[in-house]
């Protein structure tokens, strides 16, 4: 039986300005011909959501009008547009949050994450989907296999970030990998790098508790980074722990010192990928990278990663459920965001149930 509109209201978490997050009822939208109406099930909290809430912006993306938060999500299709053929009411889907124009050269070449006109959930001025009902482009909704949970479907989003990073770094069998930052994105990069064949993986962080989680998830080595210590010293320690300088470094914190460590630690001729977004400008040892031919590559969201991320979950190659530490109901979204901000109780990945 097809699902119905169980809740008459469309309770939504709306950010009005810096520090002003409210729960409001909004109209239930109607899908356009190429869209589906989704009864939202699970939405994860991302660091970008917290940044918009606490700072009111991320770089040039500034909250200027009320915006629904949330982009790590899954739900159940309630209604389909007239042109939608591959989905029907009752299908459970993972929602890829960025919908590009499909016409520019970036889209045509397959790198649609670089599309200048992408409509990305919860990135101003686009609304997100931390709400009960939401419409989305049907071709960016991916049907979940019966044995994959809606929680796992929502976690396809951070997993896709890691998949994009590991693809950009060209991780393959036998590589040694340094992951800087043991937050949610660092931890999924650990999982994906392992699944793609990395033989040794070391994670760094300023939090001992997060490094403990990294060890539980399969890190071969961990390294606690403390203030006041030269990054060159830590680079030497990384090489000692891994039995040689890493082939690849995946920087997931955005901190200047961490970017510096990634560059200094990577083997000559190796690759550094920058995943974490911090200050707009940082001071890094660029001559060191140039004279040792260390490639530095950016990572911006993801493209063509959702099908693979979903396949990895479905096959058991990765177990993203291990990242989940806390769960909240939509009506308790403010409490969930406060926990995400403080990291209290060992919070790693926090999920909000919308139905």
**CATH number of the domain that 187 lies in?**
3.40.50.720
pLDDT band at 198 (very low <50, low <70, confident <90, very high): very high
Examine the pLDDT at 166 and tell me if it is beyond 80.
yes
Q: What is the pLDDT of residues 238-265, one digit of tens each?
A: 999 999 999 999 999 999 999 999 999 9
Instruction: Report the pLDDT value the prediction gives residue 1, as an integer from 0 to 100.
Output: 47
Rounded to an integer, the average pLDDT of 19-43 is 97
pLDDT band at 59 (very low <50, low <70, confident <90, very high): confident
Average of per-residue pLDDT values in the chain:
96
Examine the pLDDT at 8 and tell me if it is beyond 80.
no
Residue 70 domain-assigned (yes or no): yes
Nearest-angstrom CA–CA distance, 247 and 176: 5
CATH code of the domain in which 23 resides: 3.90.180.10
Rounded to an integer, the average pLDDT of 278-299 is 96
Instruction: Report the pLDDT value the prediction gives residue 3, as an integer from 0 to 100.
Output: 54
Rounded to an integer, the average pLDDT of 341-351 is 95
30 and 96 share a domain?
A: yes
Examine the pLDDT at 2 and tell me if it is beyond 60.
no
pLDDT band at 339 (very low <50, low <70, confident <90, very high): very high
Instruction: Report the pLDDT value the prediction gives residue 54, as an integer from 0 to 100.
Output: 96
Structure tokens at 167: 């693809």
206 and 229 share a domain?
A: yes
52 and 83 share a domain?
A: yes
Q: Domain count for the chain, please give it.
A: 2
Supply the angle between the helices 256-265 and 231-242 in degrees, to the nearest 10.
Answer: 50
User: Model pTM?
Assistant: 0.96
Residue partners of 146: CB distance under 8 A and separation at least 6: none
287 and 242 share a domain?
A: yes
175 and 88 share a domain?
A: no
Residues in the chain: 355
Q: What is the dihedral of CA 82, 307, 113, 298, to 10 degrees?
A: 170
Can you give 261-329 as a three-state secondary structure string? HHHHHCCCCCEEEECCCCCCCCCCCHHHHHHCCCEEEECCCCCCCHHHHHHHHHHCCCCHHHHEEEEEE
Residue 305 domain-assigned (yes or no): no
170 and 225 share a domain?
A: yes
Residue 21 domain-assigned (yes or no): yes
Instruction: Report the pLDDT value the prediction gives residue 355, as an integer from 0 to 100.
Output: 85
**Dmax over Cα atoms in the chain, in whole Å?**
64
Residue 270 domain-assigned (yes or no): yes
Residue 35 domain-assigned (yes or no): yes
Instruction: Report the pLDDT value the prediction gives residue 235, as an integer from 0 to 100.
Output: 98
15 and 138 share a domain?
A: yes
Domain's final residue, options 269, 298, 327? 298
pLDDT band at 6 (very low <50, low <70, confident <90, very high): low
Examine the pLDDT at 197 and tell me if it is beyond 90.
yes
Examine the pLDDT at 162 and tell me if it is beyond 70.
yes
Residue 309 domain-assigned (yes or no): no
Residue 311 domain-assigned (yes or no): no
113 and 168 share a domain?
A: no
Domain range for residue 173?
A: 164-298
265 and 323 share a domain?
A: no
The residue written with tokens 């951070």 in the block is 158
Q: What is the pLDDT of residues 84-97, one digit of tens each?
A: 999 999 999 999 99
192 and 107 share a domain?
A: no
Residue 59 domain-assigned (yes or no): yes
Rounded to an integer, the average pLDDT of 344-353 is 96
90 and 217 share a domain?
A: no
Rounded to an integer, the average pLDDT of 188-206 is 98
Instruction: Report the pLDDT value the prediction gives residue 7, as an integer from 0 to 100.
Output: 52
54 and 145 share a domain?
A: yes
């Amino acid at each position: 039986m097809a699902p119905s509109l169980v809740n008459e209201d469309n309770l939504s978490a709306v950010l009005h300005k810096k520090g002003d997050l409210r729960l409001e009822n909004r109209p239930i939208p109607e899908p356009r011909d190429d869209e589906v109406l989704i009864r939202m099930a699970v939405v994860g909290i991302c660091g970008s959501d917290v940044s918009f809430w606490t700072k009111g912006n991320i770089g040039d993306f500034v909250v200027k009008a009320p915006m629904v938060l949330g982009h790590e999500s899954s739900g159940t299709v309630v209604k389909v547009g007239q042109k939608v053929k591959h989905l029907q009411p009752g299908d459970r889907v993972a929602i890829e949050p960025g919908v590009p124009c499909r016409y520019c050269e970036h889209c045509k070449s397959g790198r649609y994450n670089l599309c200048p006109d992408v409509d990305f959930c919860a990135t101003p001025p686009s609304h997100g989907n931390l709400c009960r009902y939401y419409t989305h482009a049907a071709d960016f909704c991916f049907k979940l296999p019966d044995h994959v949970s809606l929680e796992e479907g929502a976690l396809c989003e951070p997993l896709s970030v890691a998949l994009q990073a590991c693809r950009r770094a060209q991780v393959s069998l036998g590589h040694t990998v340094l992951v800087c930052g043991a937050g949610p994105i660092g931890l999924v990069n650990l999982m994906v790098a392992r699944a793609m064949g990395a033989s040794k993986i070391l994670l760094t962080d300023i939090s001992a508790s997060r490094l403990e989680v990294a060890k539980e998830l399969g890190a071969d080595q961990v390294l606690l980074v403390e203030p006041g210590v030269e990054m060159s010293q830590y680079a030497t320690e990384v090489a000692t722990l891994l039995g040689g300088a890493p082939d690849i470094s995946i920087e997931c914190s955005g901190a200047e010192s961490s970017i510096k460590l990634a560059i200094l630690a990577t083997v000559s001729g190796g690759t550094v990928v920058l995943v974490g977004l911090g200050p707009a400008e940082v001071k890094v040892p660029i001559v060191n990278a140039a004279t040792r031919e260390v490639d530095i590559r950016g990572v911006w969201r993801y493209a063509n990663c959702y099908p693979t991320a979903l396949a990895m979950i479905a096959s058991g190659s990765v177990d993203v459920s291990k990242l989940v530490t806390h769960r909240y109901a939509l009506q308790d979204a403010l409490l969930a965001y406060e926990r995400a901000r403080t990291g209290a109780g060992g919070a790693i990945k926090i999920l909000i149930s919308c139905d």
